[in-house]
Structure 1
Amino acid sequence: MSATAPSAAAPLHATRQRFVPDEFFGQQPSSTSALPDPSPLIENLTRAVIEILAGARDLEQISRWVTDDVYRHLLKRVVLSARARHATGRAVTRPHFSIGSISQFEPRDGAVEAVVIVHNRVRTRAVALRLEGLDSRWRATAINVL
């Protein structure tokens, strides 16, 4: 009987689905209709990122609005900016800039991509952002300052 007991249990075990914890406990996508207007977040994140790179704002202040990958990317940029300021002897100052045009696109439900033009006295830059609805709020999954 011991030879038949394991073979009888094998088919039962083979039909069982593997538990994937991310399906239940990971980030859950949200529909655009279930989320607030992303325009204020796009503008505020742009302002914050410019100030963070200038050294006038702490990166931690936007940590809840960005994914881990974006946070690490911005952290590298912050370190490089701080090294450049230190090498040239420039002090940290709050940047003076104005937000120009904002172009916003919705490539799919629950995702918004935007390009924000930022003007200051010396140059004009573009900030590209991608927001995705995760856990019933917008989170930046990509931010690039050009």
Structure 2
Amino acid sequence: MAPTPPAPARAPKPPSGARELSEYFAPQRTSTEALPDPQVFIENLTRGVLEVFAGVREVEQLARWLTEDAYRKLLTRANLAARARSARGVPAKRPVHQILTIRHSSPADGIVEGVVVVAGPARTRAVAVRLEGMDGRWRTTSLALL
């Protein structure tokens, strides 16, 4: 008779009190009904992001609106933009953009996905964002400048 294989090892369960504490202190989802209109947030975030890329606003000023992953990606992209401006010898100056349209939809409760079309002096761009309700406010989990 062949020996039975050993049962797969499982990670030990944390004590029930510790699990409850981590759930309590982790970011709490917030329903869309408990959050303000996302349109204003999306517009302000877009203006801030464009100013970060232009070099006239620090990324840290937007940190409270972004999750850690989105913040890191924005910081990396802002550093690349700063290096490109430095290599060309172009000083940072306040961008003049006109927001043409803001569209957003909610695929699930507490989640909003939006696109902002922005006309600049040289070209028209789109900013895509994904917002999630966390701890009673909107937080940007994904951000793309197209």
Following superposition of structure 1 onto structure 2, how do residues 1-146 of structure 1 map, counting pairs within 5 Å?
17=16, 19-20=18-19, 21-146=21-146
Partner deviation per Cα, 1:45-104 (whole Å, 9 max, x = no partner): 000000001101111111111111111000000110011001111011111110011110
Q: Secondary structure at the match of 2:127?
A: strand
Residue identity in the other structure for 1:133: G
Q: Secondary structure at the match of 1:19?
A: helix
Distance in 2 of aligned mates of 1:59 and 1:138: 17
Unaligned segments of structure 1, at least 5 residues: 1-13
The TM-score, its normalising length taken from structure 1, stands at: 0.86
Distance in 2 of aligned mates of 1:143 and 1:118: 15
CA-CA distance at 1:121 after TM superposition: 1.6
CA-CA distance at 1:18 after TM superposition: 7.3
Residues paired across the two proteins, number: 132
Unaligned segments of structure 2, at least 5 residues: 1-12
Runs of 4+ in structure 1 deviating by more than 4 angstroms, as ranges, are none
Residue identity in the other structure for 1:55: G
The TM-score, its normalising length taken from structure 2, stands at: 0.86
Q: Secondary structure at the match of 1:105?
A: strand
Bigger shift: residues 102-111 or 21-30: 21-30
Identity %: 51
Residue identity in the other structure for 2:92: V
